[in-house]
A and B are shown apart, each in its own frame.
Chain A
Amino acid sequence: MEFMGYRRQDAVATRNYVGILTTVTCANEVAMAISKRVAGSSLFIHHQGCCQTPVDIKRVTDALIGLGKNPNLASVLLVSLGCESVDVEEVADAIRLTGKRVEKIVIQEEGGAARSIAAGELLVQKMVQEASKNKRVPCDASELILGLKCGSSDTTSGLSSNPVLGKASDILIENGGTSILGEVTEFIGAEHLLAKHAKDEETAGRILEFVERMENRAKSVGCDIRGGQPTGGNIKGGLTTIEEKSLGAIAKAGTAPIQAVYEYGVRPEVKGLSVMDSPGREPEILTGLAAAGCNMICFTTGRGAPQGFPFVPVIKITGNESTWERLNDHMDMDVSSVLGGSESMDAAGKRLFSEILEVASGKLTKAEISGYTASMDIYMVGPVI
């Protein structure tokens, strides 16, 4: 199984952008202005980078390094203010280990926004032209790192789109690829079942640990996630227990054994299915998946979630026929045929896997076409100080 990708030094890309990444929120305005003026650039901004605890500054640093290393970025421009806690040189040096070109603009050194924007534009124009010489070549499906996400779920999610994604993920893993499951919040209630699918005791233990940690984060501000599930709306819709609800979400990870459990944004060192700490919210999880090296993301939805990410294609799959029609400019694949009886789960899974290969080879997703590529931020655990 093959797709047409860009071969980088240590990984394969499905897109070929010049990334413009800010090291701190205060540099966002300049980065935004540069990216508006240079076609072929991809903007990553966030609201972190300073006035945070050392633990969080390290998280921002590591996430930025992971994002910069993502193969879908041919080269990177880092935009820094100059006084922030994140060390732009540290980030640049780490990204350069991939062999890609990394430049930086420091606003306070450049002399303000106008000068920085001009310097940044001229620099990125050159970088984009360089990147445009890269060509797609045949690559093996095993080079795909697939992020799994569900959002705006409804009854169809647990019955069609999630199990279908699970089938496609299983196919990818059978072909030597990698899938990453985040959204630890969604495991609550079925974590013991997910842990059963871990390859060994240690991995199973880590899954339970991560779930406990996520539950405790919410408890620390007086919120009992477990006690509130399923919600009244869920019950009306047919979900009886929290186990059932969680299993409906976990279905998107298929049946492959879980090889490892990683912290947020950490790149898997093994092929196969792994679990990554992240919440369910789009900006944070999509960013975490991109930082972990995903060159593809599949996102199932019931009611129609439009979100996409700057430089990783996000394929939208729905099993809700009405959503497919009404939000067609955001939806890439319709699997309502499984609920209509005209297609089996297995066949739909194969169809999704083919779509993944096509998108990996350059077919644009609706999110990329409809301009919905701004769901981004870095997951923080501590307070702003």
Chain B
Amino acid sequence: MDIDAIRLNEKDNVATSLRQISADEKILIAQGEEKREFSVREDIPYGHKFAIRGIKTGQEILKYGEVIGAATRDIQAGFHAHVQNIESLRGRGDRK
């Protein structure tokens, strides 16, 4: 594999891993026609997201160029971004 992660849209603040990545590995993230170097800061399982820039508590998480949720804690660049620090904004019928 040439690439280790993919960022689907230029607005996204997360990328998704394409394999198990270990903390402190230098990886290549694909975006459109480009590939960019990056260092992850913790272990990221296959198919999981990590922040590609610092995200503050309450800030929107963007994937596919759209809001997929909000950060429940600060997430530094290179760290795992998932249920432990992201919550859905729409998943519950009582929270429109």
Using CB atoms, name the residue of chain A closest to B29.
A341
Number of CB contacts from chain A to chain B under 8 A? 93
Q: How many interface residues does A have (CB within 8 Å)?
A: 30
Instruction: Let me know if A238 and B28 touch, CB within 8 A.
Output: no
Contact A190 B90, CB 8 Å, known A155-B46, A159-B6, A346-B32: yes
Using CB atoms, name the residue of chain A closest to B4.
A341
Q: How far is the CA of A241 from the CA of B84 in the complex (A)?
A: 12
A-B pairs with the 9 shortest C-beta distances?
A341-B2, A341-B3, A238-B47, A241-B88, A155-B47, A238-B48, A244-B68, A241-B69, A242-B91
Instruction: Let me know if B68 and A226 touch, CB within 8 A.
Output: no
- 8 contacting pairs across A/B (C-beta < 8 A): A193-B66, A226-B93, A238-B45, A238-B49, A241-B87, A242-B91, A243-B88, A341-B35
A140 to chain B, nearest CB (A): 29
Instruction: Let me know if B2 and A342 touch, CB within 8 A.
Output: yes
Q: Which of A241, A340, A342 contacts B68 (CB 8 A)?
A: A241
User: In chain B, residues 51-96, which have Cβ atoms closer than 8 Å to a Cβ of chain A?
Assistant: 61, 63-64, 66-69, 81-83, 86-93
Instruction: Let me know if A243 and B69 touch, CB within 8 A.
Output: yes
Q: How far is the CA of A224 from the CA of B7 in the complex (A)?
A: 32
Instruction: Let me know if B87 and A190 touch, CB within 8 A.
Output: no
| A residues adjacent to B (C-beta < 8 A) | 155, 159, 163, 189-190, 192-193, 224, 226-227, 229, 235, 237-238, 240-244, 247-248, 251, 338-342, 344-346
Residues of B within 8 A of A227 (CB): 91-93
Q: How far is the CA of A188 from the CA of B12 in the complex (A)?
A: 21
Instruction: Let me know if B66 and A247 touch, CB within 8 A.
Output: yes
Instruction: Let me know if A159 and B18 touch, CB within 8 A.
Output: yes
Contact A242 B8, CB 8 Å, known A226-B93, A340-B2: no
B22 to chain A, nearest CB (A): 16
Instruction: Let me know if B2 and A229 touch, CB within 8 A.
Output: no
Contact A339 B18, CB 8 Å, known A226-B92, A240-B69: yes
Contact A340 B3, CB 8 Å, known A226-B93, A238-B47, A238-B49: yes
Instruction: Let me know if B90 and A247 touch, CB within 8 A.
Output: no
Using CB atoms, name the residue of chain A closest to B32.
A344
A167 to chain B, nearest CB (A): 11
Instruction: Let me know if B64 and A341 touch, CB within 8 A.
Output: no
Q: How far is the CA of A118 from the CA of B91 in the complex (A)?
A: 57
Instruction: Let me know if B69 and A190 touch, CB within 8 A.
Output: no
Instruction: Let me know if B90 and A243 touch, CB within 8 A.
Output: yes
Known pairs A238-B45, A339-B1 / 7 extra A-B pairs, C-beta < 8 Å: A159-B18, A226-B93, A227-B92, A238-B82, A341-B1, A341-B35, A344-B30
Residues of A within 8 A of B87 (CB): 241
Contact A339 B81, CB 8 Å, known A193-B66, A241-B69: no
Residues of A within 8 A of B66 (CB): 190, 193, 243, 247
Instruction: Let me know if B91 and A226 touch, CB within 8 A.
Output: yes
A153 to chain B, nearest CB (A): 12
Question: Which of the listed residues A247, A248, A251 has the most CB atoms from chain B within 10 Å of its own CB?
Answer: A247
